[in-house]
Amino acid sequence: MTKSLDHLDHIAIQVKDIQKALKWYLDNFKCEELYSDDTWAFIKFENIKLALVTNSEHPPHFAIIDKSIKLTQKSVIKHRDNSISKYIKDLDGNYLELIKYNN
């Protein structure tokens, strides 16, 4: 599996209110909003992206680009931005998202 992994894409943290958290990050750091709605927001810093998620939508995780992932594989899902991903856990139960962008 590790041979197809490219680089760290984003970190996702759970927040209580997406829009309030988004505003706080935009007001306090040099970053840009890539996307937001009531269930999640995506922010880009110079070196990494940060996802703000609700606990009902996503677990806290970090995402790694995996160019070999295919929609036909077990547990792979398609997202609203046309990316595909799969959640796995490491040896200690931490969530990792393997993600591929189809743009």
Which helix (DSSP H) or strand (DSSP E) does residue 23 occupy?
helix 18-28
Tell me the one-letter amino acid at 30: K
Quick check: 47 and 41 in contact, CB under 8 A?
A: no
CATH of 2-100 among 3.30.1300.10, 1.10.10.60, 3.10.180.10, 3.30.460.80:
3.10.180.10
pLDDT by position in tens, the chain (length 103): 555 667 999 999 999 999 999 999 999 999 999 999 988 999 999 999 999 999 888 889 999 999 999 988 889 999 888 899 999 999 999 999 999 988 6
Tell me the domain boundaries of the chain. Answer: 2-100
Pairing type for strands 49-53 and 61-66 reads unpaired
Count CB-CB contacts under 10 A for residue 20. Answer: 10
Quick check: 87 and 61 in contact, CB under 8 A?
A: yes
pTM of the predicted structure, to 2 decimals: 0.84
